[in-house]
Structure 1
Amino acid sequence: MTLRRATWKAASWLPVWWVTNDVLVSVSPVEGTCMQPVLNPAPPRDHVLVNRLAPRLYQFRRGDIVTAQAPDGSGRKVVVKRLVALEGDSVRHRETGRVVRVPRGHCWLEGDSTRGSRDSGSDYGAVPLGLIEGRVMEVVWPLNRCGKLRAVQGSGWPQQGRVIVGGSGQV
């Protein structure tokens, strides 16, 4: 095979790779400790498989771990947080104890570990749904942690009495 033909063959796969990575699924590293113990319980850091189609189809629910653009205006920084509440829900603010209603088109994102987690409960407030980039499906690296994420119940979420779903009752 000539170099020209090999280059053409490799280049022809570029759109397939781009669509797969940008639209369907991607692998992302998880930085920091805000999602401990579910993610990054110990070094090395976890890499997760992210369903990038889920937000476009509105396929996420309370308790999912999602990736989102940081709503603090820090550019293209991506955060990994738990989706605690959706539009129309009310949340008891973790720090102030005030009940906050999540406005239309927004959600409430928090880290599982409250130590040093920059999230809706500490910095952002309600986050626009349009900033959600994907739903985390499973850990793909390191190999000894590969597999589906632990059930929500094992992570300490939901915190009883904090989330009122659509004003009708508690989760």
Structure 2
Amino acid sequence: MGPWNNLWLFTKKSITGIIIGVTISDRYLTFVSVRGDSMHPTFTASPTTFPGSLKGDLALAERFCLDKYRFSNGDVILFKCPSDHKQIFVKRLIALPGDWIQVPESSEILRIPEGHCWVEGDNAACSWDSRSFGPIPLGLVRGRVTHVVWPPWRMSQVERKIPEGRISSY
């Protein structure tokens, strides 16, 4: 009966660990692998294949900010794509609800509606962001990226960058 008891004990501990891990990832902290060049040079994109995926950046995203939607201009956020909710994007938060923004490559000035925000990638030439799909609902935001945790030589806190002269709050 000894091996069965050990197997049962191992199974219980594994299931408990999985439940705790999923809860932490869903409510508090999660890791996100950065794909694509839209956030270059802030993040280095990773290929999708296994050995190559270790070369790109893995970022830590905190979810405490979702409690009361505590964000600031310049934060890097994690959000679901407005047109395909299975995709997760990492972009810079440029404008919050009520802010006025000059749309890049345009003379249009837009007021961000309540419950929405404006996001852009740091590499405008390779970014699919609010310039393509407009302001995104705050309900799609899944966290704020705070640190690069992989590769070890790039471990650092993610900087807030606020674009000059394009935003005003009234």
Under a length normalisation based on structure 1, what TM-score does the superposition of the two structures give? 0.87
Counting matched residue pairs gives: 159
Structure-2 residue corresponding to 1:33: 37
Q: What letter is aligned with 2:108? A: R
Instruction: Name which of 16, 23, 42 aligns with 1:19.
Output: 23
Structure-1 residue corresponding to 2:65: 54
SS at match of 1:49: strand
Instruction: Name which of 128, 139, 144 aligns with 2:153.
Output: 144
Cα root mean square deviation, aligned: 1.7
Residues 117-154 of structure 1, C-alpha deviations (whole Å, 9 max, x = no match) = 11112x110110010000001000011101212352xx
Residues 47-92 of structure 1, C-alpha deviations (whole Å, 9 max, x = no match) = 1000022122322111000000011x22310000000000000110
Residues 82-127 of structure 1, C-alpha deviations (whole Å, 9 max, x = no match) = 0000000011000222101100100000011111211112x11011
Structure-2 residue corresponding to 1:92: 102
Structure-2 residue corresponding to 1:131: 140
Q: What letter is aligned with 2:44? A: N
Contact 2:76 2:160 survives alignment (8 Å): no
Identity of aligned residues (%): 33
Instruction: Name which of 72, 85, 99 aligns with 1:75.
Output: 85
Residues 1:41 and 1:78: Cα distance change in structure 2 (over 3 Å)? closer
Contact 2:81 2:89 survives alignment (8 Å): yes
Structure 2 unaligned segments of length 5 or more: list them: 47-51
* Structure 1: distance between partners of 2:125 and 2:145: 21
Under a length normalisation based on structure 2, what TM-score does the superposition of the two structures give? 0.87
Residues 1:34 and 1:56: Cα distance change in structure 2 (over 3 Å)? same
Structure-2 residue corresponding to 1:10: 14
User: How much does 1:5 deviate?
Assistant: 1.2
* Structure 1: distance between partners of 2:126 and 2:42: 16
SS at match of 1:34: coil
SS at match of 1:82: strand
Residues 1:109 and 1:30: Cα distance change in structure 2 (over 3 Å)? same
Structure 1 unaligned segments of length 5 or more: list them: none
Contact 2:74 2:160 survives alignment (8 Å): no
Structure-1 residue corresponding to 2:49: none
Whether 1:102 and 2:126 are equivalent positions in the alignment is no
* Structure 2: distance between partners of 1:70 and 1:41: 18
SS at match of 2:125: coil
Structure-1 residue corresponding to 2:166: 162
Q: What letter is aligned with 2:95? A: A
Residues 1:15 and 1:132: Cα distance change in structure 2 (over 3 Å)? same
